[in-house]
Amino acid sequence: MSWNKIRPELAEVLQNKGFNSMNPFQEAIFDAMKSGRNILAEGSESSGKTTAIVYSVLEKIKLPEEGSPRAIISCSSNDLAEQLHTELTKCAFHLDLTIDLVHDKGNMLKQRNDLFDGTEIIVGTPKRLYELYIQNGYNVGKVKLFIIDDAIQQVKNGNLMQLKRIAESLPKCQFLIATTPYSDKRLEEFMDEIGPFQKIEN
């Protein structure tokens, strides 16, 4: 893939930060996200789903705005949330975007105060995202993207209720569900409630 599919200022930042051009699976996710469709991205752990999330989110959230977040990303563990936050933060400073991390190991009061200061993108775990949501820790009124990374693991961890409650509260927005291959009626029913989804497989 050539870099010309990505807006020039983002492409420059990504290349300077050592990101590689996308593989065909990542490119298919990126193209579908740009089109505004809901996406189910199903691939192996090494297929590059999370990197595709980085490219897609930074392409969609172009400019900083005061106040409410415009993207929420739910990760299946504290460690994965930290890793994704680190990857996004590599580029965020150069794009004037704020990325906030909210997970179960952090101090919830501090996380809430950080969100009150304003953010474009929230990365966190479903439990902490939900706790902060029900405490009015962030406003969902301007959310354009809700991304669930490693979705089947979040379902297995018992987080489906939190994900549903957040999803139900969102305005009309785009969903990206990234997962390893799975067979689970609970995840299928959740997507049916939100749907429809375009499936992209690796």
Tell me the domain boundaries of the chain.
22-201
User: What does the pLDDT read at residue 59?
Assistant: 94
Mean pLDDT throughout 54-65? 91
Q: Residue 155 in 3-state DSSP?
A: helix
Give tens-digit pLDDT for 107-135: 999 999 999 888 999 999 999 999 999 99
Enter the DSSP assignment of 83. H
Share the mean pLDDT of the chain: 93
Cα 66–Cα 8–Cα 3 angle in degrees, nearest 5: 130
**pTM summary value:** 0.95
User: What does the pLDDT read at residue 18?
Assistant: 87
CA distance 153 to 45: 12
CATH number of 22-201: 3.40.50.300
User: What does the pLDDT read at residue 64?
Assistant: 84
Query: For residue 164, what are its two tokens?
Result: 């549903």
User: What does the pLDDT read at residue 134?
Assistant: 95
- How does residue 195 score in pLDDT terms, banded at 50, 70 and 90? confident
Give tens-digit pLDDT for 6-45: 999 999 999 999 888 889 999 999 999 999 999 999 999 8
